Amino acid sequence: ESANESINRAERMSDYWVFGGIFRPVYLEAFPVQYIDRVAIDAKADGSFYMDVFTAGTGKAKEITAQIQTIDGKQFGEWLTALIDESGKTIIKGKFSNPEQWNPEFPNMYQVAVSLKKGKKPVHQITQKFGFRTVELREGDGIYVNGAKVMFKGVCRHTFWPSSGRTSSRQLAIDDVKLMKEMNMNAVRMSHYPPDQYFLDVCDSLGLFVLDELAGWQKFYDTPTA
């Protein structure tokens, strides 16, 4: 349990199982002195592509390039480029013709290779998968995806397995998502904390809407949360 009483009220005393030890991956990553920290992608069903690229560190790299690819690595459309914004957030956007759209029945995926460049030399590169889809909340009506109204049918999920406790794996994530799909579900709610990244990746690739959550759903923490 936590040494902080408010965390125990908010989490451990609700429907959490308490386990000792480390049950999620812990690792170190080495980055160049100037690198891509993360990206945030908004890709619409009509082919509109918008991405925030967050950079960190200092160096002489001045340009960011992005190449949209199919999942098997074939180039899709033209390269996108932008000069690095000194604020640390660079916007890259473009328009692509006739992309295959993502929805739960046909979860078509693409990937974008993002490069931080010093002249023609890549300093750092990351690849992020995504899908072209448009989500709308129409007041008094409902949620639409790619112009079609969607009814959410799903379940709540804990990251838990009888033989391994809170220690999960990519295969267990695949098994859970396949079971939901076989039961004609299209959504899953995270109860009550973010899942492992690979679970989100599996939901993307197999076709599940995700209602994500942060911990502390029942009570409150006594310190601010980021």
* Residues 148-198: tens digit of each pLDDT: 999 999 999 988 888 888 899 999 999 999 999 999 999 999 987 889 999
Average confidence (pLDDT) over 119-126? 94
Residues with Cβ < 8 Å from 105, sequence gap 6 or more? 207
Q: pLDDT-based confidence at 213, cuts 50/70/90?
A: confident
Which carries the bigger pLDDT value, residue 222 or residue 42? Answer: 42
Per-residue model confidence as pLDDT tens digits over 132-146:
999 999 999 999 999
pLDDT value at position 55?
Answer: 96
pLDDT value at position 157?
Answer: 92
**Backbone region of residue 62 per phi and psi (left: phi > 0; alpha: psi in -120 to 50; beta: other values):** alpha
Torsion sign across C-alpha atoms 116, 121, 126, 131:
positive
| Cα(84)–Cα(123) distance, integer angstroms | 13
| Cα(202)–Cα(24) distance, integer angstroms | 17
Cα dihedral: 170, 174, 176, 177 (round 10): 130
Per the CB < 8 A criterion, the answer to whether 71 and 167 are in contact is no
pLDDT value at position 103?
Answer: 95
Which carries the bigger pLDDT value, residue 3 or residue 207? Answer: 207
Which carries the bigger pLDDT value, residue 9 or residue 46? Answer: 46
Per-residue model confidence as pLDDT tens digits over 10-61:
666 666 677 778 888 899 999 999 999 999 999 999 999 999 999 999 999 9
Q: Please give the backbone phi and psi of residue 171, each rounded to the nearest 5 degrees, phi first.
A: -65, -40
Average confidence (pLDDT) over 88-117? 97
Beta bridge partners of 132: 101
Q: pLDDT-based confidence at 219, cuts 50/70/90?
A: low
Which carries the bigger pLDDT value, residue 9 or residue 213? Answer: 213
pLDDT value at position 144?
Answer: 97
